[in-house]
Structure 1
Amino acid sequence: MAYKYGVGISHLEFWVKDLEESLGFYSRLFPLIGWYELNRTSFSCGVHELYFKEVPLQLHDSLGVRHICFHATSREMVEQVGEWLQSINADIIRGPQAMPDYSDAYYTVDFRDPNGFVLEVAYTPDIKL
């Protein structure tokens, strides 16, 4: 029997300070970018899974992943995320805006989630993976 998935990342686990606050944020963000709920604490885009676990630790600066970028399927999707972020007074780092230094069509919004994690939603039609 062939394995269903190819090589890549299976899942990401986010340790969060307040599970309910994080779930409230992501349960509203993810439908905007095409992700869906697998169960109360897990979400998927059909290829990858991201899940949340409340851990009673303080956030510390450390080496590691700087941010996670989610694919957007259009500039309009990035705009919609930006509008939602503005409506909840989220910590927007930049955007929505074009990033011509990256590529001609790169369009992004960068922001922090309730835990301070840096996230990006970007439309990148001319980027080769």
Structure 2
Amino acid sequence: MSYKFGVGISHLEFWVKDMEESLQFYSELFPLIGWHALNRTSFSCGVHEIYFREMPVQLHDTLGVRHICFHASSRSVVDKVGEWLLNKKAAIIRGPLAMPHYDKSYYTVDFKDPNGFILEVAHAPDLKL
């Protein structure tokens, strides 16, 4: 069997409380890190897709992903995201900053989106998985 993108994650679905607020946030963030819009509610980097669905606000007792880290092509991309977050008055957790205890090349910014999802944009060209 042949797969278009190989084995791996096809897409991520984000449930959001306010579609318009989320789309405004991500339509500005994603072009900074090399992602593009596929349509009004989904975005891709050419390999993976993230799409958004507005869901009623409900409390759920579930565990899930702590955060999603997006690869940045350079430290300057991480800095641009950091500047953009400051201008938006977004909730920055840390950074932009170097994290040499992860890897000598690791440079990151961690933040929350309008729904409270924790995201990271990191440049780590020398990191070995």
User: TM-score, normalising length from structure 1?
Assistant: 0.95
Between stretches 62-71 and 23-32, larger displacement belongs to 62-71
C-alpha deviation, 1:44, in angstroms: 0.1
Runs of at least 5 residues in structure 2 that lack an aligned partner in the other structure: none
1:28 aligned partner: 28
C-alpha deviation, 1:63, in angstroms: 1.5
**Counterparts in 2 of 1:1-129, with a 5 A limit?**
2-58=2-58, 60=60, 62-129=62-129
C-alpha deviation, 1:2, in angstroms: 3.5
Contact 1:17-1:58 at 8 Å conserved across structures: no
Structure 2 Cα separation of the partners of residues 62 and 91 of structure 1: 23
User: TM-score, normalising length from structure 2?
Assistant: 0.95
Letter in 2 for 1:80: K
Structure 2 Cα separation of the partners of residues 106 and 21 of structure 1: 30
Aligned residues: CA RMSD: 1.3
Identity %: 75
C-alpha deviation, 1:3, in angstroms: 2.7
Letter in 1 for 2:119: L
Letter in 1 for 2:34: G
Runs of at least 5 residues in structure 1 that lack an aligned partner in the other structure: none
Q: 1:104 and 1:37, CA in 2 relative to 1: closer, same or farther beyond 3 A? A: same
C-alpha deviation, 1:4, in angstroms: 1.6
Q: 1:19 and 1:122, CA in 2 relative to 1: closer, same or farther beyond 3 A? A: same
Structure 2 Cα separation of the partners of residues 61 and 127 of structure 1: 34
Structure 2 Cα separation of the partners of residues 33 and 59 of structure 1: 31
Q: Equivalent residue of 1:68, what SS?
A: strand
Moved segments of 4+, more than 4 Å: none
Q: 1:59 and 1:91, CA in 2 relative to 1: closer, same or farther beyond 3 A? A: farther
